[in-house]
Amino acid sequence: MVVLDYNAELSRLMSEMQGEQGDAHEILMRLKQIIATMRAEGLPVPQDFKDLEAGLDKEFEAVQKASPQPK
């Protein structure tokens, strides 16, 4: 896959996030998969991908901490 394909996939993920078509955790996992694949193929990971991943990780952790933990 070329970088343009990854940009298109990220664009699709962003559209899903804005349209709430997918759950945030699933979108984060798909983003992580895209980044891992890029690294495995020796492609540079754009900084905006890294920033989005970090932001979603932080958001997901905050939601996890706020939700009640099973006993």
CA distance linking residue 42 with residue 9, whole number of Å: 18
The answer to whether residue 9 is domain-embedded is yes
Instruction: Compute the mean pLDDT over every residue in the chain, rounded to the nearest whole number.
Output: 79
18-28 burial code (b ≥16 CB/10 A, e <16): eeeeeeeeebb
Token couple for 10: 């990220």
Contact (CB, 8 A) for 24 and 59: yes
The answer to whether residue 29 is domain-embedded is yes
The answer to whether residue 71 is domain-embedded is no
Write the pLDDT tens digit of every residue in 18-49.
655 457 777 788 889 989 999 999 999 989 88
Give residue 21's pLDDT: 47
Q: Where in the sequence is the domain holding 31, given as residue range(s)?
A: 3-66
CA distance linking residue 6 with residue 12, whole number of Å: 10
Rounded mean pLDDT of 3-24? Answer: 70
The answer to whether residue 33 is domain-embedded is yes
Domain count of the chain? Answer: 1
- Owner of token pair 């980044």: 35
